[in-house]
Structure 1
Amino acid sequence: FGKVGGFAAQVFHDAGFNIVGVSDYKGGVYNSRGLNPTALMRYKDEAQTVAGFPAADAITNEELIELDCDVLVPAAIEDQITGRNADLVRAKLIVEGANGPTTPEADHSLSERGVYIVPDVLANSGGVTVSYFEWVQDIQAYFWSEDQVNRQLRDVMASAFNAAASLAEEKNVRLRLAALALGIGRVAEAHVARGLYP
């Protein structure tokens, strides 16, 4: 429940989702009736952790991964979902907020079970995209409103997801492979266009 996880929880909550569990480096909290991300953030600002939040039961980070939920957002460190715990994951959708939170073995196991994974290369690229927007604005000396930035970000992220999802369906591969193939293809095209390859 840091920058990425906290923001994701707030966005999902605002969209009508019931946030049942969150964690940080000291532990996690769970409430099947739902957690209020704003109240959690206030508590965390004061206590420096979500552990001990009064309106919830204590859980471990490992138990958080295994919660019965629709969407799981591993948003902190790599290798959170591995071959050891992939079979215990009950989420139907995983949105990788962290870099590399799911090992290749776990990715295969989860996909075989029908768990849909939005890979890190798609899910957490918003920060880099907005950094690019900052660069574009600085070069032009023309600055966008927050709404314009959010609209542009939404367009870029949706376009990237849709392209990867289309390729995944067309080639009958997982979304991660499709996203990586598109990215590598674009880099190769740019190198050829710039004359970096013979």
Structure 2
Amino acid sequence: MIKHILFDCDGVLIDTEIVAAEVVSGWLNTQGMSITVDDFILNYTGKTFTDIIGILKAEKHLPESLDTVTIVPTLDRGIKDNMRPINGVHQMLASIKTPVSAVSNSAKDYVLEALEMLHVSEQFGGRVFSAEMVPKGKPNPAVYELALETLGLNKDEVIVVEDSVAGVTASVGAGLKTIGYLGGSHIREGHAETLEALGTSGLATNYDELLEYLQ
């Protein structure tokens, strides 16, 4: 029996993955790296900005001396200033009676701000699990394992809603039934097949389809 639903935030509740791709790819171009929004979506969606910058440093696309601690909050601010809900999210959440939590690679304060913007903070009850709370973010399963431990739930009592390769890799890696959500504006052709290959239990292209699974 499903007792709890774990929602990713970016790309599932708020339509920020496309905003993140626009903001970060734009910044990377100012750093001398040639990258399009579609390139960013394909290769980096779902990863933390700290991990992305670390990868690009290791690949010599960015200088090792670049101050990640300074850059990441600036990128976060640019995305926060442009965050918007995915169409239909309020109606979808209002239809769910099962308790819910948010499990995200974004900072906890950012997710709480997003839930406040959506006017659903009460429904989530402060239950936010962030990559900053574990040694490694998604695609590592640690943040999902933390959520299970904290909530006192077994794997078969939880269902996850994720949209990214990193997110699905993390939730499936934690042994959790996962629905791949394809309703964000960042979703590109072939993404459904990619998530399916990673082990999703189902795919939803909009909130109506998602509710069929969740109910």
TM-score range, shorter chain: 0.3 to 0.5
TM-score, normalised to structure 2's length?
0.31
Structure label with greater radius of gyration: 1
Comparing both chains, which one has the higher relative contact order based on Cα–Cα distances under 8 Å and sequence gaps of 6 or more? 2
TM-score, normalised to structure 1's length?
0.33
